[in-house]
Structure 1
Amino acid sequence: MSGATLRMGVCAVLPDYRAAVAELPVSAASSESPRGSVVVVPGAGGWWDRALAARAEGAAAIVIADPQDLPHEAREALRTLTDIPIIVERPRLRPDLVDDAIQGRAGIPASIIAVECAAPASELNPVIRDGFGWARVFAGGPLSILAGSATAQARVALLEPRERRAGPAVTLAGNAEAGSGSGGLLRVLALGEVRSEVSVDQAAGLARLETCTEEGALVAPRRFEASARLALRRAFEACSTGGAVTDVEDFLDDCALGWDLAALVAAKDASV
């Protein structure tokens, strides 16, 4: 039996992903054709239409690279993509850091979750969406918005677990800051018997997780693997094992909170 390793083609134009292919010579090879390849779709503009086109051209899997806003009307189009593996690369919500955060709590629930987000106004919505994602992770499931307010410069939301009667109190605050292209800042506190703190500075490429228990504080090892490389490895694994990938469902859950917050604020404004 041959010991050769199957290399998958990767169709990508983004420099980070081309670099990731070069770093994975055993499992990845550059490809100019979407058919049978992992297709990397840049997350700017109408990325959902490009993802649909990649599937129609025979992509084996799709990586959506750092997606920006998703319009409410495009959600059903994204749902139709789940017949092939879809990896949603979210550098502010890396799955390896999420795993560390969950393992650090050892099943002990949080009683209070507080999320703070900051980014230039043009980038604030995606950062808040990923803040909702971290809140979902620490709450242990999907959330619903109880109350909220929003302006061009700020968002505030109070949330509760969607499917459980009891759960943590969850707050999120997002603020627009001067500048452009920073990638945003996130800080998440999950308090209770175990204290978890996550800090993400995307522009600096830094993500820090500290978990505090009665035994002391533990800082998770820094992840040096680039987010793009991690996303490709996850795509290869999904293709080879056929395992379920929940990226799209989780992404849409987090987007829905942003849509619900906007709708709630619009309804309040209309009633004034």
Structure 2
Amino acid sequence: MRMPGQGRGILTALPSYVAAVAELPLSAQRTDGANGAVVVVPGSGDWWQGLLAARARGAVAVVIADPGELPRKALEANPWSGGIPVVVERPRLRPDVVADAVRARGGSPARIITVECASPGAGLQAVVRDGLGWARSLTQGTLTLQACIATARGRIALLNSMSAGGSLPTTLAATETAAAAGMRDGGLLQLLALGEVRTEVIVDQPAGLMRLETSTEDGIWRASAHYESSARLALRRALEACASGEPVADLDELLEDISLTTALLGT
């Protein structure tokens, strides 16, 4: 039971989240038990079973830290029935940067969206998934796969979304690259939303870069960098969800993006 004046218990051993707890001394404190705590589930490995186990052990919320891909059948075998808020940390798809992008467009609809993804090996799935998440966020509608062509090292796909402005085509090119010596994982992602307003998003995880640029008839606006770590943002959102009781759509959106990625890549 949490005593008045104490922060919510956070169960984690991940260094980035240990640091995030230390940065939130009034609202969070580390704990050794899952019951009544926010449990951080590492995104590597079988994070789906980690999510189910955390709920079974009495967690009041779960954070999935930068989840990797899981086969769709693993998710279907043990469907999620809800009960507690689930916040998903997706460093390539930060909700604060997405909000900046949507706000900067000022309600102006995109006419076409292009997404380019590149990553070595199995990491390509997660980059494509988050590229589709960016497209979904900017179209504010459900993407459907229309056509897909396999290339020597990737896929080229045409998708469609029904938005307030009508049918919105989205193209995606995914390329598997050779891993350079000493290169960190993470991949490259570039999105262009074209219309009366032009939005460009570049995410270069190996270089630690996320850039958002919006072009209108009044000029070019470059979003300021967000210095809050991705882990701290996710943890803070989980604490807010516990306090407010408001639903969190992160898991549903992640599963939607995973399903579309699976259909596109044939994994």
In the alignment, the residues of structure 1 paired with residue 44 and residue 29 of structure 2 have an alpha-carbon distance, to the nearest angstrom, of 24
In the alignment, the residues of structure 2 paired with residue 75 and residue 165 of structure 1 have an alpha-carbon distance, to the nearest angstrom, of 34
Is this contact kept in 2: 1:40–1:65, CA < 8 A?
yes
Q: What's 2:189 paired with?
A: 186
Q: What's 1:135 paired with?
A: 135
In the alignment, the residues of structure 1 paired with residue 132 and residue 60 of structure 2 have an alpha-carbon distance, to the nearest angstrom, of 30
Q: What's 2:214 paired with?
A: 211
Secondary structure (helix, strand or coil) at the match of 2:228 reads coil
Q: What's 1:246 paired with?
A: 249
Is this contact kept in 1: 2:21–2:28, CA < 8 A?
yes
1:132 Cα offset (Å): 0.5
1:80 Cα offset (Å): 1.7
1:90 Cα offset (Å): 0.3
In the alignment, the residues of structure 2 paired with residue 25 and residue 78 of structure 1 have an alpha-carbon distance, to the nearest angstrom, of 36
2:127 is the counterpart of 1:124: no
Q: What's 1:93 paired with?
A: 93
In the alignment, the residues of structure 1 paired with residue 37 and residue 81 of structure 2 have an alpha-carbon distance, to the nearest angstrom, of 15
5 Å-filtered alignment, 1:1-272, equals: 5-76=5-76, 79-80=79-80, 82-150=82-150, 153-161=153-161, 166-179=166-179, 181-263=184-266
In the alignment, the residues of structure 2 paired with residue 109 and residue 9 of structure 1 have an alpha-carbon distance, to the nearest angstrom, of 42
1:260 Cα offset (Å): 1.8
In the alignment, the residues of structure 2 paired with residue 64 and residue 221 of structure 1 have an alpha-carbon distance, to the nearest angstrom, of 26
In the alignment, the residues of structure 2 paired with residue 5 and residue 237 of structure 1 have an alpha-carbon distance, to the nearest angstrom, of 16
In the alignment, the residues of structure 2 paired with residue 75 and residue 193 of structure 1 have an alpha-carbon distance, to the nearest angstrom, of 40
Q: TM-score, normalised by structure 2?
A: 0.92
Structure richer in helix, relative to its length: 1
1:153 Cα offset (Å): 2.3
In the alignment, the residues of structure 1 paired with residue 222 and residue 78 of structure 2 have an alpha-carbon distance, to the nearest angstrom, of 36
Per-residue CA deviation, residues 60-105 of structure 1 (Å, 9 max, x unaligned), is 1000001111211133467525210100110000000000011011
Q: 1:140 to 1:125 in 2, by over 3 A?
A: same
- Stretch deviating more after TM superposition (232-241 or 248-257): 248-257
Structure richer in strand, relative to its length: 2
Secondary structure (helix, strand or coil) at the match of 1:209 reads strand
1:203 Cα offset (Å): 2.4
Q: 1:212 to 1:243 in 2, by over 3 A?
A: same
Amino acid at match of 2:109: P
Is this contact kept in 1: 2:109–2:165, CA < 8 A?
no
Q: TM-score, normalised by structure 1?
A: 0.91
Unaligned runs of 5+ in 1: 267-272
In the alignment, the residues of structure 1 paired with residue 94 and residue 46 of structure 2 have an alpha-carbon distance, to the nearest angstrom, of 23
Secondary structure (helix, strand or coil) at the match of 1:157 reads strand
Query: How many residues are treated as equivalent by the alignment?
Result: 261
1:111 Cα offset (Å): 0.3
Amino acid at match of 1:186: L
Is this contact kept in 2: 1:186–1:200, CA < 8 A?
yes
Secondary structure (helix, strand or coil) at the match of 2:253 reads helix
Secondary structure (helix, strand or coil) at the match of 1:113 reads strand
In the alignment, the residues of structure 1 paired with residue 96 and residue 25 of structure 2 have an alpha-carbon distance, to the nearest angstrom, of 22
